[in-house]
Amino acid sequence: MSAGLMGRVSGRLLAGMMVAMVGCAAAPTASEPATVVLTGPNGSEREEVVSTLSAELDRSMERLRLDDYEGPYFLSYQLKDDESVTIGGKFGALTTDSHSRQRYAYVESRVGSYGFDNFANIDAESYRMANFRADRVVPLDDGDALRGALWLLTDETYKKALSDYLTKRGGAVYEAQEEVEVPSFSREDAVSHRGPAKPLELDEVAWREQVRRITGELKEHTFLLDASMEVSAQRVVRYLVNSEGSEVVDEQRLYTIQAQAYTRADDGMLLENSRLFYARDLHALPSWEVVESAVAEMIEELRLLREAEVIDPYTGPAILAPEATGVLFHEAVGHRLEGERQRDEQEGRTFQGRVGKVVLPEFISVYDDPLLSEVDGVQLNGYYTHDDEGVPAQRAELIEEGVLRGFLMSRTPIEGVDSSNGHGRAQGVNVPRARMANLVVEATEEAQVSFEELRQRLLDEVRRQGKPFGLLIQDITGGSTNTLGYGYQAFKGVPRMIYRIDAETGEQELVRGVELVGTPLSSINKIVAASQETGIFNGYCGAESGYVPVSTVAPAILTTEIELQRTQQARERRPILSPPWAP
């Protein structure tokens, strides 16, 4: 599988940030036009699309089959109508000003039966290339053109499904019989859902003005190599129908403000910093004043990082701030609780067969809840009501006071679990798999302490171990992990703001040049305390089924041992000349 940019790594979490201050976007002046509202399809138009999908699906279920072979026992059509507006710029000038719309179709054909079909533990057959591939980008208009695209996609996926089914049956000749027969596909109740319309609201004139203004002010910081800002609004109207009778129509909307900057230290190390704000509703975005303040803080942090000392590799006690804790649990625990990984023989299957057993410190609980829309006024990226298999989203109880209780489930069953809990997710036309949504880490009340007490306990542990200092990992850009059985069961996080805390004086100093590494069970089980305060990490996670929006909610934690290795990167000279706008 491929995840993000790192080949067979099971997950990559892209950075977001906790929105500490929330307010309305700045109101336009009298000379500016009112906010533009881009409406999507109305009720009758949405039903017309459902009717078109259903008509072609019914025709295929009734008549699609090769002579002497069986037809599909299950068909599903999913159409995603993706519209976005993006305005970006750097150093006072626009670099992007676009409005795009495309439709993507995913067709799932299953041959055989719920007990044994062409999916689940079938070797990848992507090497079997056909002379013609049906296009997954389909017409924006409904009617015959859309049905024509579905016709070709259905034909292609049925032929591949039939081939995979026969290959899988043939492979059973050589395979040892499983002790427990696990079905290929779960039976789920048919659902009918129509979500509310979610028009895009934006003021393009104000967006252009603010992007030019905020990025233009960055020219005074002549130590920057590059600095950019992008504001975007995206709406995805999703239609899903299947042969079981399910019909789901909903709309997902996401507004994003992103600022990013780069510089180079005197020793040649490239340094990056960013600020990301997400919201499903325009009013939940921070005001432009808050954004400008966050950008200024981002630049100041870069200036301090340029002057920070490069730290040597480290093993010892550390505090992870809430965002860093969330990334740690996402990579070290969450990916290993995804259902498909429990039945794939190539996977390490860290938690297989351990339901009911202690796997974490007994004061820690973990669950994932897609229906959690916001926490402390911050909207969560991972919110949805129905997954990409049409199953209603449900809270998944994963770990209760250290004891493993369950897994994240799509419609691919695993031993002991025959049904989905609404976590089958995918980007675009990828095959849905069990994925995280809103991962929540909690500590029992008895184990919670104030951040000040957590810091004091860090110093006590540092002195007990005879270490010269401990670490505070304040900020983290993301992470990645390997879950495969033939590789090291390891994860990596990319901290950005790391502070060294002196064992004797308690003074802290910014350092740089290392990344967080470790093996999951060892790292997690060295947590000894958690803070009363929690924080939110909003971002995107990439794995086999593509990039999906996710969130983590977690406290700060104290661990008796964390490992940091030196960051490997090329060191180059800074530009010979100053930027052209320098005095």
pLDDT digits (tens, 9 = 90+) for 307-322: 999 999 889 999 999 9
Residue 505 has pLDDT above 60, yes or no: yes
pLDDT on residue 563: 87
Reported as a pLDDT band with limits 50, 70 and 90, residue 17 is very low
Give the range among 235-239, 284-288, 486-490 with minimum mean pLDDT.
486-490
pLDDT on residue 185: 95
Which helix (H) or strand (E) segment holds residue 476: the answer is strand 469-481
pLDDT on residue 452: 95
pLDDT on residue 5: 25
Reported as a pLDDT band with limits 50, 70 and 90, residue 351 is confident
Q: Cβ distance 403 to 357 under 8 Å?
A: yes
Pairwise CA distance, residues 534 & 440, whole Å: 10
Reported as a pLDDT band with limits 50, 70 and 90, residue 306 is very high
- Strands 438-443 and 192-194 come out as unpaired
Give the range among 123-132, 531-540, 571-580 with minimum mean pLDDT.
123-132
Average pLDDT over residues 17-25: 32
Residue 432 has pLDDT above 80, yes or no: yes
pLDDT on residue 153: 96
Average pLDDT over residues 250-269: 95
Reported as a pLDDT band with limits 50, 70 and 90, residue 132 is low
pLDDT on residue 302: 96
Which is higher by pLDDT, 353 or 5?
353
**Alpha helix segments (H runs only) across 138-178:** 144-171
Q: What is the pLDDT of residues 38-58, one digit of tens each?
A: 888 888 999 999 999 999 999
pLDDT on residue 249: 98
Residue 339 has pLDDT above 70, yes or no: yes
Residue 396 vs residues 215, 393, 437, 571: alpha-carbon distances, Å? 42, 9, 10, 45
**Alpha helix segments (H runs only) across 309-440:** 322-332
Give the range among 341-350, 360-369, 450-459, 527-536 with minimum mean pLDDT.
341-350
210: left (phi over 0), alpha (psi -120 to 50) or beta: alpha
Among residues of the chain, what percentage have pLDDT more than 70? 88
Pairwise CA distance, residues 525 & 519, whole Å: 10
Q: What is the pLDDT of residues 547-580, one digit of tens each?
A: 999 999 999 999 999 888 888 776 788 898 999 9
Q: Show the tokens assigned to 313.
A: 């590799």
Average pLDDT over residues 189-205: 94
Which DSSP symbol is given to 131? S
Q: Where are the domains of the chain?
A: 43-285, 310-566
Pairwise CA distance, residues 102 & 251, whole Å: 15
pLDDT on residue 518: 76
Give pTM, 2 decimals. Answer: 0.90
Reported as a pLDDT band with limits 50, 70 and 90, residue 407 is very high
Reported as a pLDDT band with limits 50, 70 and 90, residue 2 is very low
Q: What is the pLDDT of residues 410-426, one digit of tens each?
A: 999 999 999 999 999 99
Pairwise CA distance, residues 81 & 198, whole Å: 13
Give the CATH number of domain 43-285; options: 3.30.2290.10, 3.40.1280.10, 1.20.1090.10, 3.40.640.10.
3.30.2290.10
Reported as a pLDDT band with limits 50, 70 and 90, residue 332 is confident
Residue 14 has pLDDT above 70, yes or no: no
Mean pLDDT across the chain: 87
